[in-house]
Structure 1
Amino acid sequence: MTRSFRSLTLGAVLLAAGALTAPAVLAQEAPMAGMHMMQTPPSLNLSAHGEVRMAPDMATITFGVVTEAPNAVEAMRSNAARMNEVMAALRRAGIAERDVQTSGLNLSAQYDYVQNEPPRLRGYQASNQMTVTINDLTRVGTTADAVVAAGVNQINGISFGLKDSSAAEDRARQLAVRNLQAKAALYAQALGVPLAGIRSLTESGGYSPRPPSPMYARAEMAMDAGSTPVAAGELTVRIDITGVYDLGR
């Protein structure tokens, strides 16, 4: 009994000693964590961009054939016959089949509306929309004229683009980084502190083809004296970047 009592007494003393020393250990760790957070260097969070302007080397035209007839079958048949003529005209213009895509096909009933009277069916309208890629900009105007002569009665728009934008994007990246570095150096000089290394860098933007816009005639930029004049202009490739720089003390 005496030996057991002594063992219990010794265990209680050790537990009490542990309880007394644990807060001291925690108290020592807390200031160390605070010191670690205080050692985070000051930083600059900046953004910049680079732009490159280039002449386009391809164009995309969207057009359509719209026909009307008293009944649906006749409207579709008439539309198909005219579209076959348009496709033949595209082949004669040197447009490859892979560069021609159907982008819309629609058939709808057409009604006449008179006040205080029920709608009266007038007939049916068939619409076939095509998107054509032209890789030779000298053929844009002549191609538009050819499809209109073959039966196209609706041109929805034209857009210009680049077949390969990688070189322009890389050049824009270089310009963006130069602008970011110059801005960071300027801030550090104004603050009177040395500029340390860059901590992170993120990118956004890049080349994005413009959506089709209506075709406007510009005689001063005519591709061919005898065709519809088309102005290609220039495209802008832009890269946006954001960087975080550490500052010295």
Structure 2
Amino acid sequence: MKTKRIVILFLSVVVVVLLSSCMATQGIVRTIEVSGSGEVALTADIASFSIQVSELGKTTSEAQGFANEKMAAILTVLRTNGVAEKDIATTALNLRPSYKWLDNQQYLEGQVASQNLSVTLRDLPRLGKVIDQLGEISGIYLNSVVLDKEDKSAALLESRQLALASALAKAEAYAKNSNMLVGSPITISESSVASNPYSPRAVKMLASEAYDMSTEIPAGSMTVRSTISMVVEMTRQN
């Protein structure tokens, strides 16, 4: 009788364990993590660059006069080529003494006045002409010209849609080979980057340099690329 009770108790425990195991299995959420990318080409329509003027004079006033004269010429070039006032900004303005070393001794050689401008040109076909005209002003620095697309929102939306479609296509392929179905996304993360087609280093422009022909700066093409990573629920086929 005692042995029979032990057997019944043992069988009860086994049944409980099996039921718990089945319930635990039913509660498992099967997922797969996939990624996809999408790329859209577009053409630049604006250019941004900076211009620096730095002049040495015997006095601060003299240095300022030299710098102001060149800055006035620069502003004339920009304004006559349709650059709006809101697209011309002073980013730095400095007055400082300049020293030199001679025979291991430091001496004052004069005063320096410098000014930096940040410029955005929205009429891109004028860029070569603007650079040519700036080249007629001696001793200025033209820093990194960057071509860009002012409004990339439509391209970003398209690249994200392509990236999402690519990720879902991968999930569908894995599900088909695993005899499963793709469920709802659990998490989605996305990153987007835009490449710039042209960005040279700083160039010092001298009026004494002769130009045989006008400057040409092809806009080329730039790309917007989006990458999406997602965790998708997988369900068994009935």
Is TM (by shorter chain) over 0.5?
yes
2:63: which partner in 1? Answer: 75
Change (3 A) 1:55 1:215: farther
What RMSD over aligned residues (CA atoms) do the two structures have, in Å? 2.8
1:134: which partner in 2? Answer: 121
- Match of 1:171, SS state, is helix
Once the two structures are overlaid, the 10-residue window that deviates more, 48-57 or 183-192, is: 183-192
- Percent identical pairs in the alignment equals 29
2:220: which partner in 1? Answer: 233
2:45: which partner in 1? Answer: 57
8 A contact 1:86–1:152 mirrored in 2: no
Where does structure 1 differ by over 4 angstroms across 4 or more consecutive aligned residues?
Answer: 34-38, 206-212
8 A contact 2:45–2:150 mirrored in 1: yes
1:22: which partner in 2? Answer: none
One-letter identity of the residue aligned with 1:198: P
Q: What is the CA deviation profile of residues 200-245 of structure 1, one whole-angstrom value per residue up to 9, with x for unaligned ones?
A: 32222244768953379xxxxxxxx942121221111111212111
8 A contact 1:48–1:176 mirrored in 2: yes
8 A contact 1:86–1:151 mirrored in 2: no
One-letter identity of the residue aligned with 1:52: V
Report the TM-score, using the length of structure 2 for normalisation. Answer: 0.78
Q: CA shift at 1:45, angstroms?
A: 1.5
In the alignment, the residues of structure 1 paired with residue 52 and residue 215 of structure 2 have an alpha-carbon distance, to the nearest angstrom, of 17
- Ranges in structure 2 where 5+ consecutive residues have no aligned partner: 1-15, 204-211
1:192: which partner in 2? Answer: 179
8 A contact 1:65–1:151 mirrored in 2: no
In the alignment, the residues of structure 2 paired with residue 37 and residue 70 of structure 1 have an alpha-carbon distance, to the nearest angstrom, of 86
Q: CA shift at 1:160, angstroms?
A: 0.8
1:89: which partner in 2? Answer: 77
One-letter identity of the residue aligned with 2:178: L
Match of 2:32 among 44, 53, 56: 44
Write the mapping of 1:122-161 to structure 2, written as runs, cut at 5 A. Answer: 122-151=109-138, 153-161=140-148
In the alignment, the residues of structure 1 paired with residue 139 and residue 83 of structure 2 have an alpha-carbon distance, to the nearest angstrom, of 16
Larger Rg: 1
8 A contact 1:215–1:230 mirrored in 2: no
Change (3 A) 1:147 1:37: farther
1:243: which partner in 2? Answer: 230
Report the TM-score, using the length of structure 1 for normalisation. Answer: 0.74
- Ranges in structure 1 where 5+ consecutive residues have no aligned partner: 1-27, 217-224
Write the mapping of 1:166-181 to structure 2, written as runs, cut at 5 A. Answer: 166-181=153-168
- Match of 1:119, SS state, is strand
Change (3 A) 1:242 1:139: same
Count residues in correspondence. 211
Change (3 A) 1:52 1:152: farther
